[in-house]
Structure 1
């Protein structure tokens, strides 16, 4: 009877070894998946940072052209219809990607009315790492992100005066008022924004008030 029990135990031992080996392989496989996920998340974070940095730099550079456009007939429509950003932000995107141990592999702007988009694609400088899955030690994670610079305002129009203007100069006062542009009022996300072109510094934070920057799904 004791001999039979020893035989059964001897037969079960190889099965036990196979089961333990299988469980260990699964554990290492899950660990490899976690490594890949971490590398992917790192790449996505680098891509997001690069795209946002480029969009923010472009937004800051739009302040002066925007003010110049307001002083020209139909200048605002021309400004919003034309892309203001090609080539801007690449160095800033490279810097933010490098800070996240990645490199920008592709970078481009897309023009749109009231909205320009910048896409940054990155590749991590680090690899997924050694695992039970072949080739992971040489595999780099990649990701892309797109950010937009979006005009967030609507122009608040005021009705043209219909009667004679009051003033000592009569008609002369009306003619003089046309030569000096008055304040221009926008509504930006429900907030009134008044720009006085005659001021030496119309609005110090104009770009952030007028243009929104955010990520969108690719």
Structure 2
């Protein structure tokens, strides 16, 4: 009886070792997957922040062209033409969120449209249970829409000289703006009413 018990114990020990090794591997695998998921989420957050920052900066830069388009009533052509994407702002926000901006470009053609930013995280997954993960970094992409939300303004030619002296904007958010091209308000006081900036799917 004693000899049989020792024999059974000797056979069980390798199985025990294999079970412990298997559980340890699973624990490491779950940890690696969790780390990869966290890095992916971090990169997505960096991409979102970068795209929004670039779009908001682009909106800030619209003021001069927007106001210049009003007297001759050529607002629609201004809103449809290509615009500059301030990708330096995207790079700055990506870096602040432990990522690197890999691409940044605007898509023009419909009331100023959107900016797309792709980023790559700075930290690799680097797990011993995932081959090649020592150089694997999370990538993410985000697109921010810059939407003109006060279409079809009423143009008023006070002096009947062919030059529009007043524009009345009725916006989708319920606000009404009156802008005189000859003495326009500071752009920062009206830009957020005129243009909405938000994240969208491509």
Relative to the length of structure 2, the TM-score reads: 0.89
Larger radius of gyration: 1
8 Å Cα contact 2:175/2:193 also seen in 1? no
Name the counterpart of 1:59. 59
Answering whether residue 130 of structure 2 is matched by residue 133 of structure 1, we say: yes
Name the counterpart of 2:178. 194
Unaligned runs of 5+ in 1: 161-174
Name the counterpart of 1:17. 17
The separation in 2 between residues aligned to 1:156 and 1:78, in whole angstroms, is 14
The separation in 2 between residues aligned to 1:113 and 1:36, in whole angstroms, is 37
**Deviation string for 1:92-148 (max 9, x for gaps)?**
111111112222111111112124211111112221133321121221211111111
Secondary structure at 2:122's aligned position in 1? Answer: strand
Name the counterpart of 1:216. 200
**Deviation string for 1:138-179 (max 9, x for gaps)?**
212111111111101133548x9xxxxxxxxxxxxxx97224
Q: 1:184 aligns with which of 149, 167, 171?
A: 167
| Number of residues of Structure 1 aligned to a counterpart in Structure 2 | 200
The separation in 2 between residues aligned to 1:124 and 1:47, in whole angstroms, is 10
Structure 1 stretch 180-189 or stretch 56-65: which is displaced more? 180-189
**Deviation string for 1:43-69 (max 9, x for gaps)?**
111111111111111101111211111
Relative to the length of structure 1, the TM-score reads: 0.83
Cα distance 1:12–1:214, how it changes in 2: closer, same or farther (>3 A)? same
Name the counterpart of 1:70. 70
Q: 2:87 aligns with which of 90, 95, 106?
A: 90
The separation in 2 between residues aligned to 1:203 and 1:141, in whole angstroms, is 38
The separation in 2 between residues aligned to 1:203 and 1:103, in whole angstroms, is 31
